[in-house]
Amino acid sequence: MTGATNGMGRLAALDLARRGARLGVVARSRPKADALRQEIEQVAPGTPIDVFRADLSLLAEVRRAGEEIAAHCPRIDVLINNAGLHAFSRRVTSEGYAEMTAVNYLAPWVLTDVLRDRLTASAPARIVTVGFNATGLGREIPLAGALARALTALSIGNPQHGADIIVKLATDPGFADSTGGYFAARTAKPLQCPEIGRGEAIQCALWEATAELVNDVHDARRPHNA
Per residue in 117-150, pLDDT (tens digit) is: 999 999 999 999 997 665 555 555 555 566 666 6
Mean pLDDT in the chain? 88
CATH number of 7-190: 3.40.50.720
Of 3-7, 149-153, 217-221, which range is least confident?
Answer: 217-221
Position 87 scores a pLDDT of: 76
Compute the average pLDDT of residues 181-195. Answer: 91
What does residue 78 show for φ and ψ, rounded to 5 degrees?
A: -145, 130
Q: What is the C-alpha to C-alpha distance for residues 56 and 61, in angstroms, rounded to an integer?
A: 7
Compute the average pLDDT of residues 141-165. Answer: 70
Q: What is the C-alpha to C-alpha distance for residues 82 and 117, in angstroms, rounded to an integer?
A: 20
Strands 190-191 and 182-183: antiparallel
Compute the average pLDDT of residues 145-163. Answer: 70
Neighbours of 46 (CB within 10 A): 7
What single-letter amino acid sits at 145? G
Percentage of the chain beyond pLDDT 70 is: 84
How would you class 2 by CB atoms within 10 Å of its CB: exposed for 0-12, middle for 13-18, buried for 19 or more?
Answer: buried
Position 223 scores a pLDDT of: 42
Q: What is the pLDDT of residues 66-76, one digit of tens each?
A: 999 999 999 99
Long-range Cβ contacts of 217-220 (<8 Å, 24+ apart): 217/59, 217/60, 217/95, 217/96, 218/59, 218/60, 218/63
Question: Are 81 and 108 in contact, with CB atoms under 8 Å apart?
Answer: yes
Question: Are 30 and 38 in contact, with CB atoms under 8 Å apart?
Answer: no
pLDDT at 183 over 60: yes
Question: Are 106 and 213 in contact, with CB atoms under 8 Å apart?
Answer: yes
pLDDT at 224 over 90: no
Question: Are 56 and 95 in contact, with CB atoms under 8 Å apart?
Answer: no
E strand or H helix at 79: strand 78-81
pLDDT at 151 over 70: no
CA 93 to chain centre: 19
Q: What is the pLDDT of residues 53-96, one digit of tens each?
A: 999 999 999 999 999 999 999 999 999 999 998 877 889 999 99
pLDDT at 222 over 50: no
